[in-house]
Amino acid sequence: MILTLIRIELLKIFRKWRTYIGFIAIGILVPVIHTAMYYEGQESLDFMTRNLQQSFVFVGNLLNGYFISYIILNALTIHIPFLITLVAGDLLAGEATAGTYRILLTRPVSRFQVVSSKFLTGIIYTNLLVLWLAVMSLGVGLLLFGIGELIVIRSDTIIILDKSDVIWRFMLAYGFATLGMSVVCSLAFLFSSLVENAIGPIISTMAVIIVFIIISALDIDVFKSIQPYLFVNYILNWREFFNDPLDFPRIVESVSILLAHLVLFFGTAVYIFKKKDILS
């Protein structure tokens, strides 16, 4: 039964124009970044490694598909949440706006099944969006720029990973990014269960993410005590898969915290939806 519900929900969301906005945005943005990197990537790389070049001679090329994909993943994981909320914020509130809640709930399915199918549809959409990002950035990037060693530049460390040691890291990083984005989806879904209009959850989720990102980025003592409790702090920890050696405790901690948020947001949404007085 739940599979049928998910199929119906997928049909519903993919009939809406807004569902394609995320795919189109990534489909346009990633080739634009590829083109820019094709022409000016080497200059950017030289700028990033200028300190290192004072002491070392570089042999070979670091401008490759892995490097470009890493940059794209870095840049877009902060912004993809906004694309996800467009769909996730509409999942429940959209029914209220359209006035189809009552019709939906007169079907011989429980409220839990309805809310679960909608949530899983949101998760599937999130997965598809991250998969699309992976195909566009990594797939097309490797076709255009080829493979090579990946240089990871942090504020105080440079890690150069052998080309044979990179692809599994990307797979796990995309998997982790999917989990992070699923938390965003579940937050938008929770907000969606609270209101009757889809705009509210979309704006609220974006506002929460923006505020959390700003608080996470500011190096102020007052915020430092709050930072560990902000889930956005953990969403970007897919970067840990590009560390050498891997910081397993940190990865496990991040995954656990994100999963806990996911369950909490979904559980709360289920509770609210089950108790909800359906009036439209």
Give the footprint of other proteins on this chain (CB under 8 A).
Answer: 44, 47-49, 51-62, 70-71, 74-75, 78, 148-149, 151, 153-163, 165, 213, 216-217, 219, 227-228, 233, 236-237, 239, 244, 247, 250
Tokens of 237: 């920890």
Residue 55 or 106 having the CB closest to other proteins: 55
Q: Which residue is it, tokens 């990537």? A: 41
**At its nearest, how many Å lie between other proteins and the CB of residue 86?**
21
Residue 44 or 97 having the CB closest to other proteins: 44
Contacts of 136 (CB under 8 A, 6+ apart): 26, 27, 30, 31
Residue 114 or 230 having the CB closest to other proteins: 230
CA 146 to chain centre: 25
Residue 165 or 280 having the CB closest to other proteins: 165
Angle between helices 167-194 and 65-76 (to 10 degrees): 20
Residue 227 burial class via C-beta count within 10 angstroms: exposed 0-12, middle 13-18, buried 19 and up: middle
**At its nearest, how many Å lie between other proteins and the CB of residue 228?**
8
**At its nearest, how many Å lie between other proteins and the CB of residue 168?**
15
Q: Which residue is it, tokens 């509770």? A: 271
**At its nearest, how many Å lie between other proteins and the CB of residue 71?**
5
**At its nearest, how many Å lie between other proteins and the CB of residue 196?**
35
**At its nearest, how many Å lie between other proteins and the CB of residue 52?**
7
Contacts of 141 (CB under 8 A, 6+ apart): 34, 65, 66, 68, 69, 72
Residue 151 or 185 having the CB closest to other proteins: 151
Residue 106 or 157 having the CB closest to other proteins: 157
**Cis before residue 245, ω within 30 degrees of 0?**
yes
